[in-house]
């Protein structure tokens, strides 16, 4: 017997990207900027290494996807990734301070077009992504992503 998935995503605090309860997660924290884009600073530890000294590409995708989810949240939407196309520009180093950004480009009915990027502290672009998010709900006033109480559902 399968359990039906909820129509609206539920944040239980265990997300590997932003969940503060995840024992192995990145615990990313995003700040909303004046233009409703989002920004986070992080340093990825050796646990997430691919080749020596380099963050695994799948983890870079995770970081970009997380920025896209938070960009959607900054516009008041809860959603799920519809598609994600990314491009590596330079290697993303282990234990290197990084800046991650996300921004909504467009909104049509229940789909958001979003971009995200990862830079080093000097501003060099390391990886970027564009994708779409399918809206599955709205954030209520005062709610934020990354908290087990998001949307008041469990």
pLDDT score for 138: 86
Higher pLDDT, 147 or 101: 101
Mind listing the pLDDT tens digit for each residue in 65-95?
999 999 999 999 998 999 999 999 999 999 9
pLDDT band at 129 (very low <50, low <70, confident <90, very high): very high
Per-residue pLDDT averaged across 90-115, rounded?
97
User: Rounded to whole angstroms, how far apart are CA atoms 92 and 114?
Assistant: 21
User: Rounded to whole angstroms, how far apart are CA atoms 111 and 134?
Assistant: 5
- Domain map (residue ranges) of the chain: 31-138
Per-residue pLDDT averaged across 31-60, rounded?
97
Q: Using the predicted structure, report yes or no on whether residue 101 has a pLDDT greater than 60.
A: yes
Q: What CATH number does the domain located at 31-138 have?
A: 3.10.129.10
Its sign, for the CA torsion 84, 90, 94, 97, is negative
User: Rounded to whole angstroms, how far apart are CA atoms 68 and 116?
Assistant: 6
Q: Using the predicted structure, report yes or no on whether residue 145 has a pLDDT greater than 90.
A: no
With H, G, I as helix, E, B as strand and everything else as coil, classify residue 126. strand
pLDDT score for 151: 46
Strands 125-138 and 111-120: antiparallel
Q: Using the predicted structure, report yes or no on whether residue 106 has a pLDDT greater than 50.
A: yes
- For all residues of the chain together, what is the average pLDDT? 90
């Amino acid at each position: 017997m399968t359990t039906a998935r909820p129509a609206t995503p539920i944040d239980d605090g265990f997300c590997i990207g932003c969940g503060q309860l995840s024992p192995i997660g990145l615990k990313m924290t995003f700040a909303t900027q004046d233009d409703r884009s989002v920004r986070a600073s992080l340093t990825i530890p050796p646990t997430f290494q691919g080749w020596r000294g380099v963050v695994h590409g799948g983890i870079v995708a995770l970081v970009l996807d997380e920025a896209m989810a938070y960009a959607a949240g900054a516009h008041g939407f809860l959603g799920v990734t519809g598609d994600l196309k990314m491009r590596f520009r330079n290697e993303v180093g282990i234990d290197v301070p990084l800046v991650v950004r996300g921004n909504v480009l467009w909104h049509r009915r229940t789909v958001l077009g979003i971009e995200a990027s990862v830079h080093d502290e000097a501003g060099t672009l390391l990886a970027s992504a564009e994708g779409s998010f399918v809206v599955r709900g709205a954030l209520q006033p005062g709610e934020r992503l990354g908290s087990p109480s998001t949307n008041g559902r469990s």
